[in-house]
Amino acid sequence: MTVFATAVGFGVAAAVGALLRWRASTTLGPGGTLLINIAGAFALGLLASTSGALATIVGTAGLGALTTVSGIFPESARLMRASPLLALGYVSLTITGATAAATVGLRLV
Amino acid sequence: MSLRVAAAVAAAGIVGAVIRWSVATQVDDNWALLIVNVMGCGIVGWATARHERTRHRGPVRHGIDSTSRSVAGPSPGLTAGFCGALTSMSALALQLARYLDDGRIATAAAWLGLTAAACTAAFVMSRLAVMLSYGRRP
């Protein structure tokens, strides 16, 4: 794959990833971001053994932009106003769920 | 979905992803991920606090209901687009999963602790900086 094609693919994948996450969080709220983070971690686990343009485009750009750490903070801050336990559960579920999903993805390939 | 907002999220997402990739090419992967995650959390803290102060003249009081599900912030392009794509939970999860798979539990715990502490500090301190700067204004 040429550098130009990789760059275009990188941009398209990053844009699609960011849009999907934004759409999920605006329609489903914190649950949408949670699902996206877990699904993205699983997919990156599956891709972990790949390299080259595919890893850069799908892994770094697409799945990197699809999942987020910064988005967790405003959402958990909002949940904390309702219940600190809910916010703690949300953050814990995100980290453990994403790590478990990445582990499953790693072991499947 | 406003087309203009969607375009801003997509364009800012590309910029965020390019910066994350650029940092990863300059620094060791683990440190690069920590740097971009902390940067993104700091910017989101600044952006949300600034939005609360300028638009609502006080903290946003969102309930957990159907009307407050969108991500609060002055600009979805900046928060959801740029910061969302700059930071990466999947890369962090893969980093932790690899350490756990190798039986390096202490290393995984250390990276998780460092990331959580640094990101929380960046988010809280940038919010405090905004609160203090607005508090000083007449």
Q: pLDDT over 70 for what percent of chain A? A: 100
Model pLDDT for residues B4-21, shown as the tens digit of each residue: 999 999 999 999 999 999
Is B77 at the interface with chain A, CB within 8 A? no
Give me the amino acid identity at A23. R
Q: Do B13 and A65 touch, CB atoms closer than 8 A?
A: yes
- Of chain B, the end-to-end C-alpha distance in Å amounts to 38
Model pLDDT for residues B42-99, shown as the tens digit of each residue: 999 999 999 988 875 545 444 444 344 444 456 999 999 999 999 999 999 999 999 9
Are A18 and B16 a contacting pair at CB < 8 A?
yes
Are B83 and A68 a contacting pair at CB < 8 A?
yes
Q: Do B48 and B71 touch, CB atoms closer than 8 A?
A: no
Chain B hits for A11, CB-CB cut-off 8 Å, are 14
Q: Where in chain B are the domains?
A: 3-60+74-133
As given in the structure block, the two tokens for residue B136 are: 């000083």
